[in-house]
Structure 1
Amino acid sequence: MASETFSLAEVLAVANIHPFYNPSVEYPPDQDSIESVVQSASKQTDIDISSRPLVSKKDLYKVIERLTDDTNPRNEYRRSSYVSITGGGSGGLPLMFMTDTQENRKQRAVFGDFLRTCRVVEPHDWILTTHASGYFYRSLDLLSEILENAGASVLSAGNFMTPAEVVRALAHYHVNALTGDGSQIVQVVHHISTLPAAERQEIQLNKIIYTSEPLTETQKSHISATLGPVKIYSIFGSAEAGPCAVSHPDLLAQDPPSGTMDFVFDTRQVLIEILPPSASDSDSSSVPASLPDGEEGIIVQTSLQRRRNPLVRYITGDIGSLHPLPDAAHAVIPATELAHLRILRLRGRDRRFSFKWYGVYFDFENIVRLMQPEDSGILQWQVILGSLESSPQTKLEIRLLREADSEHVLPKEDLVKSIETFFFVLPENRHLFEITFLDSLAGFEKSSTGNKVMKFVDKLH
């Protein structure tokens, strides 16, 4: 399937004549122009990507907004396109990223083959997916087709089935694998945990495959405690690049650093560079050199499956590092594939922001650490910054979904005290602070695009 990808030379050649990267070009090239530059590129032998400038979502959005609104017949961006969206998670306008329809279908086939190669999906797997669909969001059909290409039989449940309906289907159809966004997985497993033991025994899941927001250690522990011995996989991707890597429990390092997650990717599908964080602030003429293996920096991505609308040296907004495959991979990955695969160790989002409440700045990374101790029992959380009714005062609300009380879970009053101490809740600002305990995901604010629980909601700006 690697033959279904493009060479770096031809991707860069098209980028040279594309408005994403060349401001003097009005419209993306048509098919004849693409074939012409690709022919010339095939003769090039010395390809150096390091001299090319980096591109951010903000850079792309300026061009995409113009091209999306332009109905001129010469505008190739609107022709025969697979439309996916991203953004909107914090109230912003979504980014409409167009991919050539045929390129998209080939990528689904290639990545499905990759999942089969990594033995994430086996031929006898029955997988139920709760991914979202509608409101321009495409994860349901994308993941369903990828998993089918990998060899699975897929039940396309979607995000509108209730947890009770999903659980009944898991039992009735003898489903062995559940996939969805992280918050959807938590919701279904939380429902299973509330069932009588006899009903829980009818659920025979041995695989969880989640996407989008990462699961915390508390969430993973709750899944294992509820379902028993289950392998937890994750797929890493984006609207801009599509699916590009997978986390596999049998391919993890023995002792990965706390707060990180290892993903396997195929260098024939995507080129990943790790650059110093300062690189995103550099001008195009002074981009720092890539960091060596093992050193953390910003993740910069070039897709070898996007040619008509290339993705070249794109700043993903994530922090991570590159590593060779661990020795354990030899027992899972065919020998013919080992040389092409690498590990991306993901630290998480590049959270270079904080918010201010009652005169104090709170760093987002510190809040993440506050919410993730295993004894907290927190399965899902959300921070909401808003106004106190019609008052100009800023109110801070924390919404929490916890697992059922047990001897291993911190008492509610102790958790409340810990959170209030962190946020410096005092008698004079207590009326501006609220902790809301929920019994399902229904009470959380969710993104307009993917219906995902947003960790931070700013209703003021």
Structure 2
Amino acid sequence: MLRIHELFLFTLRKICLLVLNLFDLSLKFNGFPIGKATLALNDIQQINETNFETYLNNKKQDIVSYHLKHTPFYSKLAKNASPFDWNSIPVMTKNDLQQPLNDRFSEGYNQKNVYVNKTSGSSGNPFVFAKDKFCHALTWAIIKNRFGWYGLDFNSSKQARFYGIPLDKKGYFKERFKDALSKRYRFSVFDLSDEAFHNYTRIFESKEFDYINGYTSSIVQFAKYLERQNLHLKNICPTLKACVVTSEMLFENDKALMETQFGVPVINEYGASELDIIAFQNPKKEWQVTSETLCVEILDENNNILPYGEEGRIVITSLYNKAHPFIRYDIGDIGILSKQSTLKKPILEKLIGRTNDMAILPSGKKAAGLTFYYITKSIIEDDGSVKEFIIEQHQKDTFVIKYVSSEELSTKKMKLISKEMEHYLENGLHIHLERVQQLERSKSGKLKQFSSLIPKENS
């Protein structure tokens, strides 16, 4: 009888362990070796600063050598490259990757033995990509590690997820099933009405969420609703520990609002689905770059590497992806690495915007699209009635500001916006304001704050 009792307890403990590690188990079930990847990540993190340069150079040489030898697509693209001369390695662009995935695979890889996904298309250049299974497991090991900085565990922490969701039945239930495995509850970002937010607060009241994760703009709108209602989320959901925002720009005043209304730290994440988390805010409030699995460079227009502290194009090498090359890959963003950066611990000082979101003005002057957003944001949101807005460039001298508001902006406010635009940029700009019921989001739920609608040949 004692042996039966012991066997029962042993079996019960095994079942509990499986339930507690459901997230890791789902990765293993799909062939992603998360245990092996976690051990590998730990080994990399143990390398000291002195030896890290050797590790990084070896990994760069290894991944270039591998793809030159085993990937016809890459050997053709980089026909004059040498693994031992980094300056000879060409910069890849998204246009290079807009060809069938089967033509880009390394030898031995196909759609049945890799992780396949599609970029969001927020850059205007969507494409399908692949990662070998160990590389994808490393991505999750990095994500788990970074969230762990804040006491969050994907196997046990309950997530309030502010994302889009497919509207077709198959896609909808697939995402809901994935949410269940990952201990998360999804709040759709396609309805940001006060009625929807009221229902969200009821859900927060009834569930013990550990953290919020999702698109910046929708979470900001939830914080604004709480402010209007004089509510503080931590009082409604005392278990809440943190809020992680991603995919869209985080402005300091929005961050301050969220931290006030949520009562928890707001953490900024910068990533790309085809790569990894690129940078994640650490507990010291530094935007720490993922040096374990990525090599991040800042380049000028002539592909020269810029020193820390200078602004340029963000170019990234994935050090572990053998299924598909991402080597000196121009992700389409502009940023600055801090002067306090080291090879082992690079710090992203500033993310300025996307290269394809540059506005070309009548004089020929270029301005980052988010410049317009910054200027307008400081004025338009003082009104109080404006919930959110976007800016579109229709011609070199013509910009349309679409905004969601309970009432029309005053003529005085419209004139002030036009005046400030000209003050910061140049004279002769035409600014049109258009009040709309709701803003159009991408299928994934992202909101693009600035868009240039001018054809490239005319810009």
Given the two structures, how large is their TM-score scaled by the length of structure 1?
0.67
In structure 1, runs of 5+ residues without a counterpart are 26-43, 253-261, 281-287, 327-338, 388-392, 405-410
Structure 2 residue corresponding to 1:370, chosen from 372, 375, 380 = 375
Residue 3 (structure 1) aligns with: 40
- Residue 298 of structure 2 corresponds to which residue in structure 1? 274
Residue in 1 that maps onto 2:31: none
1:82 maps to a residue whose letter is Y
In structure 2, the residue corresponding to 1:278 is in which secondary structure? coil
3-state SS, counterpart of residue 454 of structure 1 = coil
- Compared with structure 1, are the counterparts of its residues 349 and 120 closer, same or farther at alpha carbon in structure 2 (3 Å cutoff)? farther
The answer on 1:129 being equivalent to 2:144 is: no
Q: Distance in 2 between matches of 1:361 and 1:340?
A: 37
Out of 295, 318, 337, the residue aligned to residue 310 of structure 2 is: 295
For 2:77 and 2:327, the matched residues in 1 are separated by 18
Residue in structure 2 matching 1:60, options 91, 94, 97? 97
Q: Quote the offset at 1:102 in angstroms.
A: 4.5
Secondary structure, counterpart of 2:250 in structure 1 = coil
Aligned-partner Cα distance in 1 for 2:281–2:379: 21
Which residue pairs with 2:258 in the alignment? 223
Q: Verify the 8 A CA contact 1:2 1:268 in the aligned structure 2.
A: no
Q: Encode CA deviations 1:38-62: one digit per residue, 9 max, x unaligned.
A: xxxxxx9x9553431111112222x
Distance 1:273 1:459, change over 3 A: closer
Report the alpha carbon displacement of residue 322 of structure 1 after superposing the two structures with TM: 4.1
Q: Please, which of 67, 73, 76 is the counterpart of residue 23 of structure 1?
A: 76
TM-aligned CA deviation for residue 127 of structure 1: 2.4
Q: Residue 108 of structure 1: CA displacement?
A: 0.9
Any idea what the Cα deviations from partners look like across 1:441-460, whole Å, max 9, x if unmatched? Answer: x7112224x22112234556
Aligned length: 378
Which residue is 2:142 aligned to? 110
Give per-residue Cα distances to partners, 1:91-115, cap 9 Å, x unaligned.
x452222223453234212331233
Q: Is the 8 A contact 1:445 1:457 kept in 2?
A: no
Q: Say whether residues 1:172 and 2:206 are aligned partners.
A: yes
- In the alignment, the residues of structure 1 paired with residue 397 and residue 379 of structure 2 have an alpha-carbon distance, to the nearest angstrom, of 31
The runs of 5 or more residues in structure 2 that have no matched partner are: 1-37, 45-57, 423-427
Match of 1:34 in 2: none
Indicate the residue corresponding to 1:85 in structure 2: 118
The verdict on how the C-alpha distance between 1:294 and 1:395 changes in structure 2, with shifts beyond 3 A counting, is closer
Return the offset for 1:198: 8.7
Alignment match, 2:336: 320
Q: Is the 8 A contact 2:250 2:268 kept in 1?
A: no
Q: Following the alignment from structure 1 to structure 2, what is the Cα–Cα distance between the partners of residues 419 and 273?
A: 36
CA shift for structure 1 position 398: 0.7
CA contact (8 A) 1:89 1:454 kept: yes
Kept after mapping to 1: 8 A contact 2:211/2:241 = yes
Q: Note closer, same or farther for the CA distance 1:403–1:292 as it changes in structure 2 (3 Å cut).
A: farther
User: 1:274 touches 1:320 (CA, 8 Å); kept in 2?
Assistant: yes
Q: Which has the higher contact order (CA 8 A, sep 6+)?
A: 1
Deviation at 1:209, TM superposition (A): 0.4
Worse-superposed segment, 189-198 or 393-402: 393-402
**Per-residue deviation, 1:128:** 0.9
Q: Alpha-carbon deviation of 1:159?
A: 4.3
Verify the 8 A CA contact 2:72 2:104 in the aligned structure 1: no
Contact kept, 8 Å, 1:244 with 1:269, in 2: the verdict is no
Deviation of residue 20 (structure 1)? 4.4
Question: Quick one: which amino acid aligns to residue 246 of structure 1?
Answer: F
TM-score by length of 2: 0.67
2:438 paired residue number: 443
Counterpart of 1:418?
416
Conserved? CA contact 2:217–2:248, under 8 Å: yes
CA contact (8 A) 2:144 2:153 kept: no
User: Secondary structure at the residue paired with 1:293?
Assistant: coil
Distance 1:243 1:71 in 2: 23
Measured in 2, the distance between the counterparts of 1:192 and 1:48 equals 55
Work out whether residues 129 and 157 of structure 1, in 8 Å CA contact, stay in contact via their aligned partners in 2: yes
Deviation at 1:412, TM superposition (A): 5.5
Please show how residues 11-410 of structure 1 align to structure 2 within 5 Å.
Answer: 11-17=63-69, 18-23=71-76, 47-61=84-98, 65-67=99-101, 76-89=109-122, 92=124, 94-116=126-148, 118-119=149-150, 121=152, 125-134=157-166, 154-157=184-187, 159=189, 162-195=196-229, 197=231, 201-204=235-238, 205-227=240-262, 229-248=263-282, 250-252=283-285, 262-275=286-299, 277-280=300-303, 288=304, 290-316=305-331, 317-324=333-340, 340-351=344-355, 353-355=358-360, 363=367, 364-373=369-378, 376-377=381-382, 380-385=388-393, 396-401=399-404
Equivalent AA in structure 2 for residue 278 of structure 1: E
Q: Identify the residue that residue 447 of structure 2 maps to in structure 1.
A: 453
Which secondary structure does the structure 2 equivalent of 1:342 belong to?
coil
Identity %: 18
